Structure 1
Amino acid sequence: MSNKGLMMKIGLPLLILAIGIGGMTVMVKKRRVPVKKVTPFRGVLVETARVTRGDYRLRIEATGTVQARRQTDIVPQVSGKVVSVAPNLVAGGFFRQGEELFAIETIDFELAVERARANLSRSELDLQTVKARADIGREEWQRLHPDEEPNPLVVYAPQLKSAEAALLSARAALRQAELDLQRTRVTAPYNCLVRSENVDLGQYIRSGTKVATLVGTDEAEIIVPLPLGDLHWLQVPRSPGEQGSPAIVSLRSDGQRWQWSGHIVRSLGEVDPRGRMARLAVSVADPYGRNPRAENRPELALGSFVTVQLQGDTLPGVVEVPRRAMREGDRVWIMEDRKLRIVPVKVVRREKNTVLVSSGLQGGEQVVLTPISGAADGLLLRTAEN
């Protein structure tokens, strides 16, 4: 390789490198030093909510399962063959009070009534015969012994008592036969729903055997467990006729929420040994919507799991504070003139989403909802609007 070519290979890269270093040196010397800009502290960004003072009605939420207020096992009082069964006597069928459920063959009982009536007539005749003989015996005695009391045997006293007793027995037997005849027709004791049944046409049933189970449709109950501390906020009836606290029963179905009105009817008078909770019974009228004026909504069927909101006492002059605004030691942070102020408060009651405060807040304050690390009185605050 010639000297000229060798110099080109070595010198050209060095030349390019020198030009680059020179250009960088010129640019560095001519650059402008950036001016430092200090941004003033505008305060910690927080979310706030304004609170108000007023009367607050307590709302205590609980859950429970719908159960029957009344439940009756249908047990026939006479034996016999079933000759008629109501079409609705199937699980889920409805009956009005007094409607016939089923009937037992009556011929044997009608004959028993006839026999009882004949026996009653015979007893009446026997009594009249004994009375006539007693009258004759008394007259004979008075004619022969006018100054003496007649011997009981002479005036048929024992026979008279026996005849009177036989008459009473015959009357009772007739009454019993008539009752047995009436009992061949079994009717609904109240407005009800058939929960289960075990009777059919032609079946022979015996007295004392359960053939169906009915539950009342006029009223249903929900047994709700509550902490013992919630009881003193509610009106629980202690005697018949007292009205308990109102309640709203809610059921979610197909994405919708349905509600029924109810009220507390009693306390079960015991504490659940597992959860240490008191239990109250809440009554709901017409759970199946059988009343013609009932609202168009689904049935509040037995076994439904529902939410119950109990309306408790009204607390006068309290401030409703969001739970997010409460700090450790029952303190609240409020924002005044864009500065933080820590205020101790007196808590009356804690609910699911709110805390009720009786003192420490006057109402109208802006409470801070955002947690702040190292919060202290006088800390500068700002909101999204600021």
Structure 2
Amino acid sequence: MVKRLVIAVVLLGLIVGGIVGFNLFRDKMIADFFAGREPAPVTVSTSPAQAIRWAPGIEAIGTAVAAQGVDLAIESGGTVREILFAANDPIKAGQKLLQISEREERADLAAAQAAMDLAETELARQRTLQQRGVSALNNFDIAQAEAVSARAQVAKLQAVLQQKELVAPFDGVIGIPRVDLGEYVTVGTVYATLQDLSRMRVDFAVPEQQIAVVKAGLPVSVSSEVSDYRARGRIIGIEPKVDPNSRLVTVRAEVDNTDGTLLPGQFLRVRVELPEEDGVIAVPQTALMSSLYGDSVYVLRKGDGETRTVEQVFVTAGRRSGGMIEIIRGLSPGDEVVNAGQNRLSGGAAVTVDNTVAPPAAVAGQ
């Protein structure tokens, strides 16, 4: 019995030892295989760091505002007698748009004009008598005061009638009528909107850090995301204070809109175009990598044949414009930087260059 137990233990030990030895041998062979194996070169695309003519700008979001635009309101209450426009009609300054019932005021005006005529006649009579010396000066003064009062009453009623006849204050396009014939309206009721669409203003905001470079007269370009609208204009005003809540400064520009494509209230992308600068080193934005250690790029170094190596270089990045980014420190003109495929790289890695796989932004920047 003891002999069988000893034999079993020996056999078990041989089996376990063989398994452990085999695993150790296998792990060593695998480690030796990978230790002696060179990784395959990574395919990347590159572009040169160039000293270019830099066109800096400030990107912002804006809102279209008509150069002239008002909500037309009723000046005097009453019943709507005439509506003399339809939605989207082109309107000329001074054109009659709405008539409020004015029968009572016209009757009052007729009475006032009759009283004025009588007062003028009496004033003329008293002037003649006073010149002949057969009338007291007091009677002439009374007649003159009554004539002045009668004229003022006529002028007052004429002004009331003008408030019943509503006209356009400027040229533009009128909106949808908001009142109906026969409707009783009160003072201040809005009956339509009138917008001058020939010129458009764009209101946008810039950070307070950039307000020092924003000046009246600087060119701007605007575009809409819902149409192919593109236009250029200039800055016409800058708010002389900073919003304490957002730390932004409101800026207004004016752009052309002769075809009426742009409408008030529309969302726009705005770019303030700053003076150009020469000799700015720039690379495609896709070449820049950011981490906790800072911004860096991979730069191509020498190699054998088509295979080359890369070096990770930390840089100081500056302004962005379109698909390019300014490099303030860390690169020299002519350095070849990797703009695609760098997520699989490390310092000293072997690469092959294939610029047919370059991202569109990098191609546009070259």
TM-score, normalization: structure 1? 0.65
Question: Which of 146, 169, 174 is matched with 1:189 structurally?
Answer: 169
One of 248, 267, 289 as aligned partner of 1:277: 248
Say whether 1:176 aligns with 2:138: no
1:224 pairs with one of 183, 189, 204: 204
Query: In the alignment, what sits opposite 2:280?
Result: 318
Deviations 1:231-288 (CA, angstroms, capped at 9, x unpaired): 33433x2xxxxx24322222235xxx4323343332344445554333323434337x
Cα 1:86/1:244, change in 2 over 3 Å = farther
Native 8 Å contact 1:332 1:367 kept in 2:
yes
- Cα pair 1:317 1:358 within 8 Å, conserved: no
| Matches of 2:244 and 2:286, distance apart in 1 | 33
Residue 246 (1) aligns with residue 208 (2): no
Change in 2 beyond 3 A, CA 1:163/1:77? farther
1:318 Cα deviation from its structure 2 partner: 1.0
8 Å Cα contact 1:81/1:104 also seen in 2: yes
Structure 2: 5+ residue runs without aligned partners?
A: 1-35, 304-308, 356-366
Q: Which one of 355, 363, 374 corresponds to residue 333 of structure 2?
A: 363
1:104 maps to a residue whose letter is: I
Offset at residue 57 of structure 1 (A): 1.4
The answer on whether the counterparts of 1:271 and 1:277 sit within 8 Å (CA) in structure 2 is yes
Residue pair 1:247, 1:282 contacting (<8 A) in 2 also: no
Distance 1:188 1:132, change over 3 A: closer
**Unmatched 5+ residue regions in structure 1?**
1-37, 141-154, 238-242, 291-298
Specify the code of the residue in structure 2 equivalent to 1:130: Q
The alpha-carbon deviation at position 331 of structure 1 amounts to 5.3
Q: How does 1:1-386 map to 2 (within 5 A)?
A: 45-88=43-86, 90=87, 94-137=90-133, 156-195=136-175, 197-235=177-215, 237=216, 243-253=217-227, 257-286=228-257, 289-290=259-260, 299-326=261-288, 329=294, 332-338=297-303, 340=310, 347-351=317-321, 353-357=323-327, 361-369=331-339, 370=342, 374-375=346-347, 382-384=352-354
Aligned position for 2:362: none
Counterpart residue identity of residue 334, structure 1? V
Larger CA Rg, structure 1 vs 2: 1
State how far apart, in whole Å, the 1-side matches of 2:208 and 2:233 are.
21
Deviation at 1:346, TM superposition (A): 5.7
The structure with more helix, counted as a fraction of residues: 2
Secondary structure at 1:47's aligned position in 2? Answer: strand
Separation (CA, whole Å) in 1 of partners of 2:280 and 2:128: 92
For residues 384 and 207 of structure 1, what CA distance do their matches in structure 2 show? 74
Query: Are the structure 2 counterparts of residues 165 and 360 from structure 1 closer, same or farther at C-alpha, using a change threshold of 3 Å?
Result: farther
Report if aligned partners of 2:218, 2:273 keep a CA contact under 8 Å in 1.
Answer: no
* SS of alignment partner, residue 252 of structure 1: coil
Q: Residues 183-217 of structure 1: CA distance to partner in whole angstroms, max 9, x if unpaired? A: 43312222344456432222344445443343442
- Structure 2 Cα separation of the partners of residues 373 and 205 of structure 1: 75
- Residue 134 of structure 1 aligns with an amino acid whose one-letter code is Q
The one-letter amino acid paired with 1:186 is: L
Do the aligned partners of 1:82 and 1:204 also contact (CA within 8 Å) in 2? yes
**Aligned AA for 2:254?**
S
2 CA distance for matches of 1:234 and 1:251?
25
Contact 2:57 2:274 in 1 (8 A): yes
| Letter paired with 2:347 | A
3-state SS in 2 of match to 1:313: coil
Contact 1:261 / 1:284 at 8 angstroms: preserved in 2? yes
CA distance in 1, matches of 2:314, 2:252: 39
Rounded Cα–Cα distance in structure 2 between residues aligned with 1:167 and 1:373: 99
